[in-house]
Amino acid sequence: MGAVGGTVTLARKAVGTGVRAVATPSKRPSDQEYFETLQTLSQASVDQFFLAFKDVDWDNPDYSVESAAHDPRLILTDADVIGAHPWYKSLPREEQIRIGAYRFAQVAKVGRQFEQILIAGVMHNLIGMGNQNPEFRYAMHEVTEETHHIQMFQEAVNRFGEPVQGASSIWVKLTPLVTAFGQWVPELFFIGILGGEEPIDHMQKAIMRAGGGHPLIDRIMQIHIAEEARHIGFAHQYLLHHWPQMGFVRRQVLTYMFPVVMRVLCDVIMIPSRADMEAMGIPKDVAKEIWWDSEESQKRMRDMFGDVRMLADDLGIRRGPARVLWRAMGIDGRRSRFRSEPAVAKA
């Protein structure tokens, strides 16, 4: 299947008839609407799912990365923040390929680590959940899918053979505290889920819309994009449903934490660790430009959060003094008109 068309088809199949229900919320769903959406998502996970070692044809010769050092399909395109920078474009072809291979392995490793945090936090959230709650079933479907994403990402990292670190060592050490928020303050944890998932989803869709690259990478992204459509939709609906149920003080605190968490986790997900930057040979001044000092990179960051701004507006929290924080974090701007609206359409 074609890269872009195939991804869209997979995503539509994965979400099924629930696309409209989870894509364009305009008010808090009623209990019945919310539970019906959960049922739709759960059934979609039964009807359309992917297995890491069945739906990726690892033995396909075209998927091989044994000759990655000489494979031009690994050259980063402008859809990647590194690939778009003049420094990268000026490098010899062999070095562009080397960095491209390392970059994919690095992103896959961070994705694997984030999914592990997500699963641990969701387990904290579900451990005390009562009977007859449809959130339990869908959350377990999501966890099942995330375990396959983890295996898929790590298998790709192993095959590339790059010594990637992934997230910073400090972040890895903090994860037990982070996952505990799944039980202590689940609304904050779901904000964090979006803070990690939205930037990765935005980047992968941009790469696929640009034509993709290596077939193995493309296939992994197709699967991930398709199932993340459900996961992100659930997080949006969860917050819309639970936000009005919180007390006034809790709502106020989370209103101001919302953009801060988005920006912090965006940096954790999108900015390589110091060790990985050094391994890719990215100069410090170039790294500053790539990760948010230049006007172009700042626009890229804003573009990642169009769907989040839509959610915040539906929650009624991106206004008044809180709006100042959105601007200060560099993620304010026009909201998406619909889920996954391409950035070019927002200009």
Instruction: Write the pLDDT tens digit of every residue in 35-56.
Output: 999 999 999 999 999 999 999 9
The answer to whether 191 and 261 have CB atoms below 8 angstroms apart is: yes
The backbone region for 186, taken as left when phi is positive above 0, alpha when psi lies in -120 to 50, beta otherwise, is alpha
Q: Residue 4: pLDDT above 50?
A: no
Q: Residue 25: pLDDT above 50?
A: no
CA dist 248 and 244 (Å) reads 9
Angle 104-61-105 (CA atoms, 0-180°, nearest 5)? 10
DSSP string, 121-138: HHHHHHTT--TT-HHHHH
pLDDT score recorded for residue 50: 98
pLDDT score recorded for residue 1: 35
The answer to whether 322 and 296 have CB atoms below 8 angstroms apart is: no
Q: Residue 21: pLDDT above 80?
A: no
Domains of the chain, earliest start first: 3-15+31-346 (1.10.620.20)
pLDDT > 90: what percent of the chain? 87
pLDDT digits (tens, 9 = 90+) for 229-255: 999 999 999 999 999 999 999 999 999
- Nearest alpha carbon to residue 335 among 323, 15, 28: 323
Q: What are the tokens at 140? A: 């377990």
Q: What are the tokens at 223? A: 């699967």
pTM of the model: 0.90
**Mean pLDDT across 166-180:** 94
Angle between helices 186-209 and 169-184 (to 10 degrees): 130
pLDDT digits (tens, 9 = 90+) for 286-300: 999 999 999 999 999
pLDDT digits (tens, 9 = 90+) for 261-285: 999 999 999 999 999 999 999 999 9
pLDDT digits (tens, 9 = 90+) for 86-136: 999 999 999 999 999 999 999 999 999 999 999 999 999 999 999 999 999
pLDDT > 70: what percent of the chain? 91
**DSSP character for 233?**
H
Q: Residue 163: pLDDT above 80?
A: yes
Q: Predicted confidence band at 27 (pLDDT cuts at 50, 70, 90)?
A: low
Q: Predicted confidence band at 347 (pLDDT cuts at 50, 70, 90)?
A: low
Amino acid code (one letter) for 36:
E
- Nearest alpha carbon to residue 66 among 158, 163, 3, 148: 158
pLDDT digits (tens, 9 = 90+) for 130-148: 999 999 999 999 999 999 9
> How far lies 201's CA from each of 22, 130, 223, in Å?
16, 32, 11
